[in-house]
Amino acid sequence: MQMETITVNKSFKSEEYFINMGPQHPATHGVLRLLLTIDGEIIKKVEPDLGYIHRSIEKMCERDSYQQIVHLTDRMDYLSSHINNEAVCLAVENALQLEIPDRVKVIRTIIGELTRIASHTLWWGVMGMDVGALTTYFYGFRDRELINDIFEETCGARLTMNYNIPGGLMFDIHPNFVKRTKEFIAHFKTKLPEYDSLLTGNIIFQKRMKGVGILSKEDAISYGASGPVGRGSGYSCDVRKHHPYSALDKVTFNETLRQEGDSFARYQVRIQEMWESMSIIEQLIDNIPEGEHQVATNAVIKLPKGEFYQKVETARGELGVYIISTGTKSPYRLKFRSPGFSNLSLLNHIAVGGKIGDLVATMATLDLVIPDIDR
Amino acid sequence: MIRFFSITKNIHEWLFNLMPESVASVVEMILIAVVYLLIFAVAGLYLVLLERRVAAWFQLRIGPNRVGYQGLLQTMADALKLVSKELTGTEKADKFLYNLAPYFVIISSLMALSVFPFTQDFQAFDINIGLLFLIAISSIGVIGILLGGWSSNNKFALIGAMRSGVQTISYELSVGLSLLTMVLLTGSLQLSEIVEVQKGGWLIVQGHIPAVIAFMIYMIAGTAETNRAPFDLVEAESELGAGFHTEYSGMKFAYFFLAEFINMFIIAAIATTVFFGAWLSPFGITESIPILGVVWFLGKTLILVFLMMWFRWTFPRLRIDQLLTLEWKYLLPINLINIVVMAFVVWLKITI
Amino acid sequence: MSYFSDIYSGIKTLLTGMSVTGKYFLHARKGAITQQYPDNRATLKMFDRFRGEVVMPHDENNEHQCTGCQKCELACPNGSIEIIWDRGIDETTGKKKKKIDQHIYHLGMCTMCGLCIEACPTDAIVWAQNFENSVYDRTKLTKVLNQPGSKVKAGIED
């Protein structure tokens, strides 16, 4: 009798199955592995599996001098490498209580905002590709290349720039820097509205985005979401606004906030942030103060004994650098609080119940960079 | 005056003089099939090249330009590479169905080509249910996709195949009904008849508003039929990797790939025949030279193919439930109303 | 009624998107943003500050400026630089002086961070702008920067 009921139940029950999305999958942008439990097309559970690109950067930092640590941070969130460098440099400078020239602060802010635009244009292109509009990828990259050219001319590298050193900048900006940046801003102001007409306004895109992957403000706070993900849920978490660093206290800008908390809100926060970043650059680019590009530090930097924390706003959210120093030339322990890790942790929460297509679109709006998560 | 009819008639008579009637007709069929296969295998390859160049121009790129003059031999080289590649497969695949699937897809799409009136008398197979035949044949291809996805024993492929099944079955309705709207005007399913009716004016002009609506519905549903973006859920590469043909390689993959492009050509060719007067030139400007009909036919078809490429390289992909919403809540009701409107138009004789 | 206005606005947004790509399609001839890389080698010039690889410039007398102070070796985070040095007698002063035997640079380990060049007190090593660094054999990526038979330029002190 019992046997019969079981068979009857089984024949009317849809079965769940597992799918390995990644580590080599086009939507995971790198080597993230997602273990999906799926019922038909509907996601029941998402389990991220990390560690495929773990390089133990934090452990390597315990071996390196403070100048050397900076270049490792390039390899974490490679799309906002300048801002990562800045975080370490600011932490070290604050610990040493160095007085940084205004020129350095302004240049750091300008390049930081350029990095943010570069990261967001790449995200926009890849985001379009994830939802199936392949052309956006090239339009996004076209604009990003111009920023990369500016970086290459000034810093010598396009992606892993390592332009910051504790105490200032490695060398002064290139004479063309101001001109090129202005040209880029003028160019990008004509191209950003195109982004809207190509993708943002598109009815298919809006249907794919609106009401998908909803994250409430309470959840955003409790999961530690930061950056555009948090701000898309109405959580005011912009480090640039609340704890301004470098020259960010001298500029006026609005923190972009959206209350909806869905994928479309996160998308719009990023688009709006590009406008804000351009306005920040415009406020600073004409009056870069004269002065030294670095202050002299000892060849071997030794931080005083103690614990130091510095947070900055990368393109992905809040990056924290926590240094425990015992007074030697390298930190006793260095911990990065990376934005991607916290943002990934809420993927299961917001993707369950959606379709496979929703998962991909939601993941794209989280803007994950896997080396940032794995470190 | 070169007419295809005279050439084919000569060959036909020569063949029937040479051998007994039954053998001759078989030989004739084989000859025509070989000619069609050769022409459309090459045409399919060049459609791939066209797609790649068009995509490049949309995307601020240059596109393939290395192999041959301006990259004209690129897809030939690709095809050669695919032919020479090893045919891999999964261990626990259902080998028979796995091997059968690509042929389903490619044969069904090649068969559909036989009924098109490329120009006056250049039509391999003029049956009186031509349009029905096309609709029927184009829905066989999905069996191949389903078989391929299921038998390759891959979950991604299975999801892709199931999506394809859902999608094609739904959109088949809209394709059929929108063509049916036009049949109300022509009164015949025979393609040569349909062309004959349009001598006074293309059907999209004759049928004005309901015809334009039918054309729009047909283009949307037709794009969905070919599983191309924005309806490429079957092989949505950001979701499923490569979809139903994940496990196929070499020539078997090439069959799927080629079939997609030939299907695109077929959908555009049906639209050309039914809405834009097939090989008829506008206002009959080249009526005295029937051979130019091929140029007109291919020209109109390629414009529609370009339109489908334009869709593909602009729009994001729909989600599976939105795909069904679009069909069952929008296209189908509008289509049904449109048929009624068209019936009134024909009844009241307010065609142009 | 919203059913029809939805259709209208939907089609309108789709056409807006198509107009953007259509515009670029029409300007495709001049608008290609990609480069035909191996073909444009002659015109392709990298920026002066581009970090290609570390080189040690020598003048016409086969003299370089490296004193063998090993500051670059210490600054390098990855151990890409190894300096094999010796003490020799300086001909002019007659004192014992450090001189380099081999300045070994492992390009395969280099992350192009630029710390060695920042650390060098005599500007003995600089960035080169070449970027075509691929070779068939990994051992070829280990380079000796000072040329055979070269010596330190006179007057360079650490």
DSSP string, A200-257: IS-HHHHHHHTTSS---HHHHHHTT--HHHHHTTT----HHHHS--TTTTSS--PPP-
**A156–chain C nearest CA distance, Å:** 4
CB contact under 8 A, A67 and C13: no
From the list B57, B314, B315, the residue facing C28 with the nearest CB is: B57
Identify how many contiguous H helices and E strands chain A contains and give both numbers. Answer: 16, 8
A201 touches chain C (CB under 8 A): yes
Instruction: Give the DSSP H/E element, type plus range, for residue B24.
Output: helix B21-58
Domains and CATH numbers, chain A: 59-374 (1.10.645.10)
> Per-residue confidence at B4, pLDDT binned at 50, 70, 90?
low
**C149–chain A nearest CA distance, Å:** 32
Is there a contact between C87 and C99 (Cβ–Cβ < 8 Å)? yes
Task: Name the nearest CA neighbour of A373 among A112, A53, A86, A79.
Answer: A53
From the list B59, B62, B310, the residue facing C18 with the nearest CB is: B310
Is position B277 within any domain? yes
Residues of A in contact with C77 (CB under 8 A): 64, 68, 71-72
Q: What are the Cα distances from residue A138, in Å, to A135, B35, B241, C58, C82?
A: 6, 40, 20, 43, 43
Give the separation between CA B298 and CA A374, rounded to whole angstroms: 54
Is position B263 within any domain? yes
C13 touches chain A (CB under 8 A): yes
Chain C contact probe: residue of A70, A71, A81, A160 with most C CBs at under 10 A? A71
Task: Check residue A12 and give its pLDDT.
Answer: 61
Give the separation between CA A87 and CA A169, rounded to whole angstroms: 13
CB pairs under 8 A between B and C: 36
**A329–chain C nearest CA distance, Å:** 12
End-to-end Cα, chain A, rounded Å: 56
Mean pLDDT of chain B: 83
> Per-residue confidence at C10, pLDDT binned at 50, 70, 90?
confident
B57 touches chain C (CB under 8 A): yes
C17 touches chain B (CB under 8 A): yes
Is there a contact between A374 and A52 (Cβ–Cβ < 8 Å)? yes
Query: From B154, which residue of chain A is nearest by alpha-carbon distance?
Result: A19
CB contact under 8 A, B230 and A198: no
Task: Check residue B249 and give its pLDDT.
Answer: 83
Domain positions in chain C: 2-33, 53-152
For residues C96-108, average pLDDT: 82
Residues of A in contact with B315 (CB under 8 A): 132-133, 202, 204
Structural domain range at position B242: 90-347
For residues C95-122, average pLDDT: 84
CB contact under 8 A, C10 and A156: no
Q: Is the pLDDT of residue B1 over 60?
A: no
Query: From A359, which residue of chain B is nearest by alpha-carbon distance?
Result: B239
Query: From A133, which residue of chain C is nearest by alpha-carbon distance?
Result: C17
Is position B285 within any domain? yes
SS3 A22: coil
End-to-end Cα, chain C, rounded Å: 84
A330 touches chain C (CB under 8 A): no
Give tens-digit pLDDT for A139-157.
Answer: 888 888 889 989 888 888 8
Give the separation between CA B251 and CA B271, rounded to whole angstroms: 30
Task: Name the nearest CA neighbour of C141 among C83, C80, C100.
Answer: C80
Residues of A in contact with C25 (CB under 8 A): none
A160 touches chain C (CB under 8 A): yes
A142 touches chain C (CB under 8 A): yes
CB contact under 8 A, C7 and B330: yes
Is position B35 within any domain? no
CB contact under 8 A, B314 and A133: yes
Chain A contact probe: residue of C16, C47, C123 with most A CBs at under 10 A? C47
From the list A71, A194, A202, the residue facing C14 with the nearest CB is: A202
- Which residues lie closer than 8 Å to C47 by C-beta, 6 or more apart? A149, A152, A153, A156, A174, C129
Is position B83 within any domain? no
> Per-residue confidence at C3, pLDDT binned at 50, 70, 90?
confident
Q: Is the pLDDT of residue B272 over 80?
A: yes
Instruction: HSE, CB side, 13 Å, CA atoms: give it for residue B69.
Output: 0
A281 touches chain C (CB under 8 A): no
Domain C53-152 has CATH 3.30.210.10: no
Task: Check residue A1 and give its pLDDT.
Answer: 43
Q: What SS3 string covers chain C?
A: CHHHHHHHHHHHHHHHHHHHHHHHHHCHHHHCCCCCHHHHCCCCCCCCCCCCEEECCCCCCCEECCCCCCHHHHHCCCCCEEEEEEEEECCCCCCEEEEEEEEEEEHHHCCCCCHHHHHCCCCCCEEECCCCCCCCCHHHHEEECCCCCCEECCCCCC
Total domains in the fold of chain B: 1
From the list C46, C49, C127, the residue facing A154 with the nearest CB is: C49
Give the separation between CA B321 and CA B309, rounded to whole angstroms: 24
Task: Name the nearest CA neighbour of B159 among B92, B106, B233.
Answer: B233
At B335, list the tokens: 């289509």
CB contact under 8 A, C21 and B313: yes
**A156–chain B nearest CA distance, Å:** 26
CB contact under 8 A, B60 and C21: no
**A149–chain C nearest CA distance, Å:** 9
Chain A contact partners (≥3 CB pairs within 8 A): B, C
- Which residues lie closer than 8 Å to A112 by C-beta, 6 or more apart? A82, A83, A86, A246
Chain B contact probe: residue of C8, C21, C23, C26 with most B CBs at under 10 A? C21
B96 touches chain C (CB under 8 A): no
At C38, list the tokens: 């191996």
Is there a contact between A110 and A150 (Cβ–Cβ < 8 Å)? no
Give tens-digit pLDDT for B143-158.
Answer: 888 888 888 888 888 8
Is position B50 within any domain? no
Chain B contact partners (≥3 CB pairs within 8 A): A, C
Give tens-digit pLDDT for B276-298.
Answer: 877 777 776 776 776 777 888 88
For residue C155, count CB atoms less than 10 angstroms from its CB and return exposed for 0-12, middle for 13-18, buried for 19 or more.
exposed
Task: Check residue A13 and give its pLDDT.
Answer: 66
Per-residue pLDDT in tens (0 to 9) along chain A, 375 residues: 444 544 555 556 677 888 888 787 777 777 888 888 888 888 888 888 888 888 888 888 888 888 888 888 888 888 888 888 888 888 888 888 888 888 888 888 998 899 999 999 999 988 888 888 888 888 888 888 889 989 888 888 888 888 888 888 888 888 888 888 889 999 889 888 888 888 888 888 888 888 888 888 888 889 888 888 888 888 888 888 888 888 888 888 888 888 888 888 988 899 988 898 889 888 888 888 888 888 877 778 888 888 889 889 888 888 889 999 888 888 898 888 888 888 888 888 888 888 888 888 888 888 888 888 888
Q: Specify the higher pLDDT residue, B93 or C77.
A: C77
Mean pLDDT of chain C: 82
Q: Which residues of A touch B (CB under 8 A)?
A: 17, 19, 25-27, 41, 128-135, 137-139, 142, 198-199, 202, 204-205, 207-208, 355-358, 360
Is there a contact between B54 and B306 (Cβ–Cβ < 8 Å)? yes
Is position B4 within any domain? no
Task: Check residue B3 and give its pLDDT.
Answer: 55
Task: Check residue C136 and give its pLDDT.
Answer: 92
For residues B328-335, average pLDDT: 88
Give the separation between CA B55 and CA B261, rounded to whole angstroms: 14
Identify how many contiguous H helices and E strands chain B contains and give both numbers. Answer: 15, 0
Q: Is the pLDDT of residue B5 over 70?
A: no
